[in-house]
Amino acid sequence: MKHLVVLSGAGMSAESGIATFRDSGGMWEQYPIEDVATPEGFRRNPQLVLDFYNARRKAAFEAKPNGGHIGLAEMEKDFKVSIITQNVDDLHERAGSSNVLHLHGELSKVRSTADPSSIYTLTPDKPEIHIGDKCEKGSQLRPHIVWFGEAVPMIEKAIETVNTADILVIIGTSLNVYPAAGLLNYANPDTPVYLIDPKEVNAHRQGIHFIQKGASEGVEELRRSLK
């Protein structure tokens, strides 16, 4: 089976009702990145940051996978599919994808501020954490999210995965945030690259097959092209 590697971003979940970051009306227009997605922001106003992720976690629990997520899960019948997602929702998993790597963390998880390996999973019936919610050893819990300025622990694994791609598919990412955006450069020069996005995205690579559509229709078209 050919190895199909997918790099997905916020646009993948847009049709599930989850706002993207940089489109007009996107998340970063309402909430300054430095306030809610940096370690400094968390030190300045931890309650604001916890509230921001509590709200996003609830929205993610309520969202449902769209045709794009489902189509990719179905492709496991014909391909070995590895998904590398910048998204912190779990819609790929809930659609049935079995091999998902979260580059930027996971909303459903929280961890100790003192010990990054002490990770807890939240559930839809208890989707929030607050100041005073602590790990077993007594340290405050924080979202299990990679904030700007923090290391991206899964990047090495993601590079290895892209390295072994027979086909690379990029869906719903503006390719603005590194190191995720640089993953494309680790694909073999003769690996075909498909890019699904309703807008033009500058991917800095020759010979990309653009599918200028939303995720659901785009994944359908991809499947037809690969038949």
Is residue 104 flagged as an active site residue?
yes
Among 198, 212, 223, 226, binds ligand OAD (CB under 6 A): 198
Catalytically annotated residue among 104, 130, 144, 204: 104
Of the chain, the end-to-end C-alpha distance in Å amounts to 13
Q: Does 104 bind ligand OAD (CB under 6 A)?
A: yes
Among 4, 5, 18, 37, binds ligand OAD (CB under 6 A): 37
Residue 186 DSSP label: G
Of 80 and 212, nearer to ligand OAD (C-beta) is 212
Of 122 and 197, nearer to ligand OAD (C-beta) is 197
Contact of 20 with 172, CB cutoff 8 Å: yes
Site string for ligand OAD, 130-159 (x = CB under 6 A): ----------------x-------------
Site string for ligand OAD, 69-88 (x = CB under 6 A): -----------------x--
Secondary structure E strands in the chain? 3-8, 80-85, 100-102, 105-112, 119-121, 141-145, 167-171, 193-196, 209-211
Q: 70-99 burial by CB neighbour count: b if 16+ within 10 A, else e?
A: bbbbebeeebebbbbbbbbbbbbbbbebee
Q: In whole angstroms, give the CA distance from residue 28 to residue 164.
A: 34
Residues of the shown chain interacting with ligand OAD in the complex, contacts defined by CB under 6 A: 9-11, 14-15, 20-23, 26, 37, 86, 104, 146, 172-174, 176-177, 197-199, 201, 214-215
Q: Give the residue numbers marked as catalytic.
A: 104
